[in-house]
Amino acid sequence: MNIAFDIDDTLVNNDMVTKYLAAQGYDPYKVLRNFHIRNLKITKAEAKYIHTMFSMDEMNHLKPNPNAQYVIETLSQSDINEIFLITARGEEVKDGTINMINDHFPTILEENIFFTAGGSKEDILKELEIDVFVEDNIEAVLELAPKMPEVKFFVLSYSETPHNHDPIAAMDPLPNVTVVENLIDILS
């Protein structure tokens, strides 16, 4: 089974971006939501600010979310599973990101980490023939899931994740989307 994970706020806790955006007077929820969905517009200043942050060294020293290491280790133990990471991070933090993943998730192969630089994850999900995708950005999942009925999506509802600021209960249920409160729930 090809299982893919988002990185920020899925495997690692990335509240630095939210905090920096808020400190600059931006609405982090709006900016991040729009940044990750191509067809929504953010201002040039907001985009520049996000790219500045995404190139900061702190991005490469984030801590794993609760249970993330256990989940990846457990899935990696089965020969039928191949683990991929698909992140909206860009080339600026590519090496640092790979190092961070190696530190916390040593079973994930470097060549299985893909960077979309803010772009949609749709093409990579298709190209890699992903069966399961785990992501914290509910709006991105709501955009992808109807286009890929064969993919099983898990959306994390961590309260601290910036993308799920809006009540998750308000989402329309889709047959291939499951909302989980904890990463460990994807194992059951």
Binding positions for Mg ion, rule: CB under 5 A: 6, 8-9, 136
Find the shortest distance in angstroms from Cβ 186 to Mg ion: 15
Residue 158, φ and ψ in degrees, nearest 5: -50, 135
Nearest residue (CB) to Mg ion, 99 versus 116: 116
Contact between residue 185 and residue 156 where contact means Cβ atoms under 8 Å apart: no
Q: How far is the CB of 10 from Mg ion (least distance, A)?
A: 5
Would you tell me how many other CB atoms lie within 10 Å of the CB of residue 22? 14
Please identify, using beta-carbon distances, which residue of 75 and 134 lies nearer to Mg ion: 134
Q: 166, 162, 164, 157: which is closest to 186 by C-alpha?
A: 157
Nearer of residues 89 and 152 to Mg ion, judged by Cβ: 89
Q: What is the tally of helices (H) and strands (E) in the chain?
A: 7, 8
- Name the residue nearer to Mg ion (CB basis): 35 or 77: 35
Angle at alpha carbon of residue 117, lines to 114 and 36, rounded to 5°: 105
Q: Smaller CB distance to Mg ion: residue 7 or 75? A: 7
**Shortest CB 135 distance to Mg ion, Å:** 6
- Block residue for tokens 């069966």: 131
For Mg ion, the closer CB: 11 or 75: 11
Q: Could you tell me the smallest distance in angstroms from the CB atom of residue 89 to Mg ion?
A: 10
Q: Which residues pair with 83 in a beta bridge?
A: 3
Shortest Å distance, C-beta 79 to Mg ion = 28
Asked if residue 26 lies in contact with residue 53, where contact means CB atoms within 8 angstroms, the answer is no
Distance CA 57, CA 122 (A): 28
DSSP at 38: T
Tell me how far, at minimum, the Cβ of 136 lies from Mg ion, in Å. 4
